[in-house]
Amino acid sequence: MSTTIHPSALVDEGAELGEGVTVGPFCHVGGHVKLGDHTKLESHVVVAGRTTVGAGCHIFPFASIGHRPQDLKYHGEPSTLEIGANTTMREYVTVQPGTEHGGMITRVGEQCLLMASAHVAHDCQVGNQVILGNNVMMAGHCTVEDHVIVSGGSAAHQFVRIGEHAFVGGLTGVENDVIPYGMIIGNRGNLSGLNIVGLRRRGFDRDEIHTIRQAYRLLFSDEGTLAERVEDVSKMFPDSPSVKRVIDFIRSRSDRALCLPHSGD
């Protein structure tokens, strides 16, 4: 299948287009952009900067991909943006490259869905098979691990981490880190349990879900300090990779506190 460029589109010299790429009406592809095989740009899409888009991606009208970050500390450094294969970005999505203060690169993984008007700011690291709902706002330097769902109208504070398989409810303000498998809901989000529905959909068996539930109750009980509870849970469930993932997430260094349950939850 040959590459198709609409006569009204502008593809700058130096851009690299793979096999079977479609560039629709009134699109603009910058000179440092790389589009993977069979990627499709609908009308009025702009892909700028040092941006690499993987194979099989689909980008819808009025998306702005790779323009300079909104960070006022950005001074034109040659930072980059990487979009993984088979990712879909709907209307008015904005994704911006990195800065020298955050590793010089923004990444969005494979098989992601960014719904209309979602925003991924500079230096974010978004994993694979992530769904960002309509009007989701990810501030700079956020980390979103694999299989996360962030529902419509939610916003994440800069430097927040959202662990794998977590679920963020609609209109939630995420100020602190969300543990893997956690479910967070609220104007300023508090941990409200585990993302059980998501775990079942991803093929976690009943025994493993039960183990994660046990670990959750112990981690967020009122007995002792969090550090003591983390140590106890680590010893109680040494053979559970899911529990180990939560423990490693809590123990790893972060610029944000943890989202915790409301007292009594």
What amino acid positions are annotated as catalytic residues?
122-123, 140
Phi, psi for 158 (deg, rounded to 5): -60, 145
Cα separation, 112 vs 106, whole angstroms? 14
Dihedral of the CA atoms 37, 49, 152, 196 (nearest 10)? Answer: 60
Cα atoms in the Cβ-side hemisphere of radius 13 Å centred on 170: 4
Contact predicate 3/11, CB 8 Å: no
Dihedral of the CA atoms 39, 111, 154, 141 (nearest 10)? Answer: -90
CA distances from 248 to 180, 216, 233, 241 (A): 10, 14, 12, 10
